[in-house]
Amino acid sequence: MEKAFTSFRLILLLLHYVMASSTMIQTNISTDQLALLSLKSEIISDPFHFLDESWKYSRRDRQSSKHERFAHTIQSACSIPLAVFNISRIEVIAFTSNYLSGTLPNHFGNGFPILKGLYLSINKLHGHTPTSLSNCSELQILPLSGNEFDGPIHREIGRLSNLQKLFLGSNHFTGMTLHYLMKEVGNLVNLMDLGMERNQITGSIPISMFNISSLQYLLLAKNNLKGSLPWEIGNLTKMQVLYLNENRFNGEIPKDISNLVELEELGLEFNSFSGSLKMESFNISRLRIISLLHNNLSGIIPPNICSVLPNIEHLYLDKLTNLFGIIPHSISNC
């Protein structure tokens, strides 16, 4: 393979060599070793010398009944090295913050039966995400943010029943409404973190989204979403971070938002929320950040704001043209 590469940082966490018999161990080590050596041959820079010793195979490695972890910070090619697909026992692949380009092969998900984490954020990957990813049935963490993926998110993603963290933000996903997406994502009963900010997702928030009671982190900012927030948002009692800013939401902010007792960060700015500013709706002791700027809210800042929000650090209320009254003296106690 020609080494006309753009350098980038590559981290591989390889957990492997758990086989049923010594024959299987030797066979797979031989196969995996060849793949690793092929991958190593594509490395153009190893500034911390991680590859000097850590990829040698000892007798202890071959006979170990436990997973062995290999962590490397190296520099390699500008596309995903093909040798990776020949390593049978990978649990985590991390190519975050590099210059990876090209598309993911259609067969990408077929060769990783025990893959638990696939980190591809902040690269230059494009095209559709392969439906074969749904074959990685053990996958728990899937960050794809900060690329140039396009088209709709494939429906097969709903088959990843073990998925806990899904980050799809800052891509070019199009041709789908949030209702379409939630028909599949709504099946991910173990999902805790969902990031879909900075895409072109349309429509309103479906009620089914609020049935994922495990959600702790939800980013829907900077899309083209509209409509009002349903009172069912109060069902997300484990929610810690919620950003819905820079969409076209309207109507009143439901008082049921006060049921989000674990909430720490709330971003609702640059929407068209209306009605009275009722800080009692945010009577959540953990809240540190509230941003309501650039909405159509009216009313006064309550005099007891610090008892309502004892841990508040950032409170953004600018550009609320219908806000009136005085700034309460008690705010100095926040």
182-195 confidence digits (pLDDT tens): 777 878 889 999 99
pLDDT for the residue numbered 147: 95
**Closest C-alpha among 80, 102, 78 to residue 5:** 78
pLDDT for the residue numbered 108: 85
Phi, psi of 156 (to 5 degrees): -65, -10
Q: What is the pLDDT of residues 276-311, one digit of tens each?
A: 888 778 888 999 999 999 999 998 888 888 888 889
Q: What is the mean pLDDT of residues 216-241?
A: 94
Higher pLDDT, 239 or 106: 239
Q: What is the pLDDT of residues 128-155, one digit of tens each?
A: 999 999 999 999 999 999 999 998 888 7
Q: What confidence tier does 78 reach under pLDDT thresholds 50, 70, 90?
A: low
Furthest-apart CA atoms within the chain: distance in Å: 79
Handedness of CA 238, 93, 16, 62 (dihedral sign): negative
Please determine, for residue 167, whether its predicted confidence score (pLDDT) is greater than 50: yes
C-alpha span between 167 and 242 (Å, rounded): 14
Amino acid at 313: E
- CA end-to-end distance (rounded Å), the chain: 61
Strand ranges, E, within 144-209 = 148-151, 165-167, 172-173, 193-195, 202-203
pTM of the predicted structure, to 2 decimals: 0.80
Check if the beta carbon of residue 306 is closer than 8 Å to that of residue 283.
no
Please determine, for residue 225, whether its predicted confidence score (pLDDT) is greater than 70: yes
Q: In this structure, are strands 165-167 and 141-143 parallel, antiparallel, or unpaired?
A: parallel
Determine the distance from the C-alpha atom of residue 252 to the mean position of all C-alpha atoms in its chain, rounded to a whole number. Answer: 29
C-alpha span between 241 and 77 (Å, rounded): 36
- 227 by DSSP, 3-state: which? strand
76-80, 86-90, 299-303: least confident range: 76-80
Give every strand in the sheet of 172-173, ordered side by side: 101-102, 124-127, 148-151, 172-173
C-alpha span between 166 and 172 (Å, rounded): 16
Q: What confidence tier does 2 reach under pLDDT thresholds 50, 70, 90?
A: very low
Q: What confidence tier does 178 reach under pLDDT thresholds 50, 70, 90?
A: confident
Q: What confidence tier does 3 reach under pLDDT thresholds 50, 70, 90?
A: very low
28-32, 267-271, 286-290: least confident range: 28-32
The DSSP-derived string for 228-248 is PPPGGGGG-TT--EEE--SSE
Q: What confidence tier does 207 reach under pLDDT thresholds 50, 70, 90?
A: confident
Whole-number Cα distances in Å, 139 to 74, 102, 160, 191, 194: 24, 22, 7, 11, 15
Please determine, for residue 77, whether its predicted confidence score (pLDDT) is greater than 60: no
C-alpha span between 150 and 127 (Å, rounded): 5
85-89, 158-162, 225-229: least confident range: 85-89
Count CB atoms within 10 A of the CB of residue 221: 22
pLDDT for the residue numbered 306: 85
Q: What confidence tier does 160 reach under pLDDT thresholds 50, 70, 90?
A: very high
Across all residues in the chain, what is the average pLDDT?
A: 79
Token readout for 69 is: 């972890």
Q: What is the mean pLDDT of residues 73-92?
A: 63
Check if the beta carbon of residue 215 is closer than 8 Å to that of residue 192.
yes
**Closest C-alpha among 195, 186, 253, 179 to residue 214:** 186
pLDDT for the residue numbered 152: 83
Higher pLDDT, 141 or 157: 141
pLDDT for the residue numbered 175: 74
pLDDT for the residue numbered 322: 85
- Select the highest-mean-pLDDT range: 122-126, 176-180, 183-187: 122-126
